[in-house]
Amino acid sequence: MGKNFNKSGIKAFNILALLMLMLVNCSGKTNFISSDNHNSSDKDTVQYGSPFRGVPDARDAVIYQVNIRCFSSARDFQGVILRLDSIKNLGVNVIYLMPVYPVGTVKSVNSPYCVKDYKSVNPEFGSLTDLRALIDGAHNKGMAVILDWVANHTSWDNPWINNVSWYKQDIAGNIVSPNGWNDVAQLNFDNTAMRNAMIKAMKYWVLTANCDGFRCDYADGPPADFWKQAIDTLRNIPSRQLLILAEGSRADHFASGFNYTFGFRFYDMTKNIFKNNGSVSGYDNINEIEYAGANESNRVVRYITNHDVNGSDGTPLDLFGGKTGSLAAFVAAAYMKGVPMIYNGQEVGYPVRLTFPFTNSLIDWSLNPQMVTEYKRILSLFNSSLAIRRGTLNTFNSNDVCAFTKIYGSEVVLVISNLRNATVSFVLPDSFISSRWIDAFTGTSVSLKTQISLSPYSYLILKKN
């Protein structure tokens, strides 16, 4: 401006300043102007929308994992929005979106877990406006939304890379990769500035996109004190009930504030039962190990597939005896001790692996409508039964059969699932014979005998009448 800033310019400037002052005084705070290209800022982000009041109790979640790249032909947020009703009707109350951030290009293998910018939306999927529309749409249908958070490492072209001390280095001062994942650079959690920037970025998404928490990728990498610092900060955001899932198995995750850990061991045991004829009674030890350090409200997320194992190990149909076997395995995962998670396509029995980097796969949603109906029936019972969701577990598994009761107050549910591709005779405890039972799905009376015959991959869910 300088010499060209004349009296009329001064007058115009003063009027503009007065209007801005009036705006601040009327609102009590300046308005946050959102941008689809909004980048990091030193100022706190203002809340977009209103915090969602329908976030379920952590014990009552049914989680649905969305892999945006293979979810629809559009492969974007809008493709997910168009199927929100289908997700809701399945019995889901929590949607978990795989990473929504821009992917790095240096040393890249196009992994969504190679984050180039922690505060931007991947244009491959759409804009911040589109992400907000997805989350708003889920909220309007009674579903919470959690985002995938990649705390352990960044892409090599993330702007953070200019802060060398923010990264782990070898003896020669070169930034290193974690676990042989050469497309990413390992962050240094001894660096306070990096930790604060990471936590601020997590808080940014809770506020600017109105998400309801995070699934934290490779949570076993960052130290427990970082997670406690991050989670404490997030839980201090006003008017928020957040769900935070550790994709990890360390016992200290619960003490750090996570609601959930990941059921790696349960999945491996289930795979061993089906593939190697392992004993179903091994579940008892798994439950004890996975719940070490847990309190009453903590849960382990139980699954029979996810984006990692679907590509590396095979689909549930490959691993767990086709349609009927995978449903029997899911009953054990959903009802025994935890909260169930479904990976997109699982409910239609999609028979093709969704392989990394997920850009060539596309789920056919028209497959196996009868299987979708059965998933709905299984999850409907989960949602309607306090005993299944919160009850005390008593197991009496055999070598071949997953069998247990869940008891909450006066509600008693008996679950018997044959995990063999063969007819199996199962001996019931004497105490069950004298009780009156109904089929939990149909409400019809069921008379139990000491020994029952279970057809291959069949399951029986009863409620005490």
Residue 186 is classified by DSSP as E
pLDDT tens sequence for the chain (465 residues): 333 333 333 333 333 333 333 333 333 332 322 333 334 444 567 899 999 999 999 999 999 999 999 999 999 999 999 999 999 999 999 999 999 999 999 999 999 999 999 999 999 999 999 999 999 999 999 999 999 999 999 999 999 999 999 999 999 999 999 999 999 999 999 999 999 999 999 999 999 999 999 999 999 999 999 999 999 999 999 999 999 999 999 999 999 999 999 999 999 999 999 999 999 999 999 999 999 999 999 999 999 999 999 999 999 999 999 999 999 999 999 999 999 999 999 999 999 999 999 999 999 999 999 999 999 999 999 999 999 999 999 999 999 999 999 999 999 999 999 999 999 999 998 889 888 999 999 999 999 999 999 999 999 999 999
- Answer yes or no: are the C-beta atoms of 309 and 346 closer than 8 Å: no
How far is CA 21 from its chain centroid?
Answer: 44
Contact between 394 and 403 under an 8 Å Cβ cutoff? The reply is no
CA atoms within 13 A of residue 65's CA, in its CB half-sphere: 23
Half-sphere exposure of residue 239: CA atoms within 13 angstroms, side-chain side: 8
Query: What pLDDT, on a 0 to 100 scale, did the predictor assign at position 137?
Result: 98
Which residues contact residue 392 at a Cβ distance below 8 angstroms, ignoring those fewer than 6 apart?
A: 406, 407, 408
Residue type, 87: I
Asked if 203 contacts 213 with a C-beta cutoff of 8 angstroms, the reply is no
Nearest to 185 by CA among 153, 209, 216, 163: 153
Contacts for 421-424: CB closer than 8 Å, 24+ residues apart: 421/321, 421/325, 421/456, 421/457, 422/456, 423/453, 423/454, 423/455, 423/456, 424/400, 424/453, 424/454
CB within 8 Å of 187: residues ≥ 6 apart: 151, 152, 153, 154, 160, 166, 167, 168, 194, 198, 222
Residue 184's nearest CA partner among 159, 163, 154, 150 is: 154
Backbone angles phi, psi at 449, to 5 degrees: -110, 165
- AA identity, residue 6: N
Evaluate the CA torsion angle 184, 189, 191, 196 in order and state its sign: positive
> Mapping DSSP to helix (H, G, I), strand (E, B) and coil, where does residue 396 land?
coil
**pLDDT at 46 (0 to 100):** 86
pTM: 0.90
Residue 431 is predicted with a pLDDT of 86
